[in-house]
Amino acid sequence: MNCFDCQALDTATAAVAICRSCGAGLCDRHAHPHPQALHRAAGMGTATRRHAARRLLCETCAVAERSD
């Protein structure tokens, strides 16, 4: 699989990840890591894990999440 964004620039670059939101293939230049808090049910409420998970997004999805 090739990077979707590189393909649009007419360059064939191997994908090393997949966007968590849209599923596009991503190379190391176009993958944007974001932390994701993990929660689990604990008693009457929800407990948040101490360490965040890693989530990779493409540029388009990363910008969309930051927009209002």
| Closest to 29 (Cα-Cα) out of 39, 17, 44, 41 | 17
Q: Tell me: the pLDDT tens digits for 11-67?
A: 999 999 999 999 999 999 999 998 887 777 777 766 777 777 788 999 999 999 888
Q: Dihedrals φ, ψ of 47, to 5°?
A: -105, 140
Global confidence as pTM = 0.71
